[in-house]
Amino acid sequence: MTDSILMFLAEHTAVAALLKLLLLVLGFVMPLASLSTWAERRQSAMMQDRLGPNRANIGPVKLWGILHFVADAIKMMFKEDVVPAKVDRFLFALAPVMAIAPVLITFAVVPFGPDLCVGQVLSVVTDPTTCKATIPLQVARMDVGMLFYFALASLAVYGTTLAGWASYNKWSLLGGLRASSQMMSYEVCMGLSLMGAFLVYGSLEPNAIVTAQGSNILNWGIFTQPLAFVLFFTAAIAETKRAPFDLPEGEPELIGYFVEYSGMRFGIFFLAEFIETIFLAAIVTTVFLGGWQVPGLDSSGFGSFHLPHLAVVLLQVVAWSLKILFLCWLQLLIRWTLPRFRPDQLMRLGWKQLLPLSLLNIIITAAVVLWRSGGK
């Protein structure tokens, strides 16, 4: 029964892709993003010696206040949707869509597990390449892989910029201007800092990068490309527009590009920001933390301790999720630890420090790769 379902999915890739997309987005990304909205306030409260949101409950069920995200969602949906008088109505409505759609689509390239060998789920698989039929645990496996991610991520800036423009409000316009200049500057560094990793692992395709890293932890991106890890993580946090890079929002002076938005439209901007943090965690995991690899776990099990294929895959998917949770937590920690940059500091960091360092990283990596391949 299970085998025939899996076989059907292996043959009908479009159906499988749709299922995987639903599983990934509705089963992992959206719940995690909603939880982050609560976790952020709770964690910041703990860091500042406060209690934070801990009271929302359904009867006696309280769960440390986790239910706050449900309360927030209900509040957002039932709030009045105010559209100011002189806004550009079409662009005003388009902006939240442009903010959230690209980040959700980019999850298509993230591999959240190895290829599932259909028909051998309960036996030990020593060489996954010999499988007759496989289901890749990744929605879209494209040759351009990471370029697809960069292309769509570069579209996310329209959400903030259009929101700033369409709102017909000086502060939101300033926020939108800041967002577009900031995201343009840091995109360059983001792309260039990953170039070294592409050279080392010889591919742009995320799953190939994960496979190339293997289960040996010393071969993971964070050890082979330590400088790129720091550069990419910094630039990517700037892309998510969160503190210390939250100039487009700049609460004390601007309130942000979404100042005129209310109700669920604001909620979408809010959610998009958290989805971006999850996506950043997913990319860092893929390129620098071995993706779904577990240290020491090969496709047949830990060394001579064999495990059935299904158990190996499950362990790897769980490892992937844990890595993402850790990186989300780390981003919250950074966000509540560092104060905001000034705009000139932001530009100096992006163009005069991160960019030259990422170029240096490419040159050094290229030289080492050339030397190790014997100059061919």
* CB closer to another protein out of 17 and 217: 17
CB-neighbour burial class of residue 273 (10 A; exposed 0-12, middle 13-18, buried 19+): buried
Residue with smaller CB distance to another protein, 287 or 319: 287
**Least distance to another protein, CB of residue 143, Å:** 5
What is the binding site for another protein (CB under 8 A)?
A: 11-14, 17, 88, 90-91, 94, 136, 139-144, 147-148, 150-155, 157-158, 161-162, 164-166, 173-174, 176-178, 180-181, 183-184, 187, 204, 253, 342-344, 347
| Shortest distance (Å) from residue 43 CB to another protein | 29
Smaller CB separation from another protein, 14 or 61: 14
Least separation in angstroms between residue 158's CB and another protein is 7
One-letter-per-residue 3-state SS of the chain: CHHHHHHHHHHCHHHHHHHHHHHHHHHHHHHHHHHHHHHHHHHHHHHCCCCCCCCCCECCECHHHCCHHHHHHHHHHHCCCCCCCCCCHHHHHHHHHHHHHHHHHHHHHCCCCCEEECCCCCCCCCCHHHCCCEEECCCCCCCCCHHHHHHHHCCHHHHHHHHHHHCCCHHHHHHHHHHHHHHHHHHHHHHHHHHHHHHHHCCCCHHHHHHHHCCCHHHCHHHHCHHHHHHHHHHHHHHCCCCCCCCCCCCCCCCCCCCCCCHHHHHHHHHHHHHHHHHHHHHHHHHHCCCCCCCCEECCEECCEECCHHHHHHHHHHHHHHHHHHHHHHHHHHHCCCCCCCHHHHHHHHHHHHHHHHHHHHHHHHHHHHHHCCCC
Output the smallest distance, CB 121 to another protein, in A. Answer: 20
Using the minimum distance from each CB to another protein, give the nearer residue, 83 or 97: 97
> How far apart are CB 156 and another protein at their closest, in Å?
9
Q: Which is nearer to another protein, 7 or 230 (CB)?
A: 7
Residues whose CB is less than 8 angstroms from the CB of residue 370 and which lie 6 or more positions away in sequence, other chains included = none
For another protein, the closer of residues 1 and 14 by Cβ is 14
CB nearer to another protein: give 278 or 346: 346
Q: How near is the Cβ of 228 to another protein at its closest, in Å?
A: 19
Least distance CB 177 / another protein (angstroms): 6
Identify residue 230 by its one-letter amino acid code.
V
Q: To the nearest whole angstrom, how small is the minimum distance from the Cβ of residue 226 to another protein? A: 25
Which is nearer to another protein, 90 or 223 (by Cβ)? 90
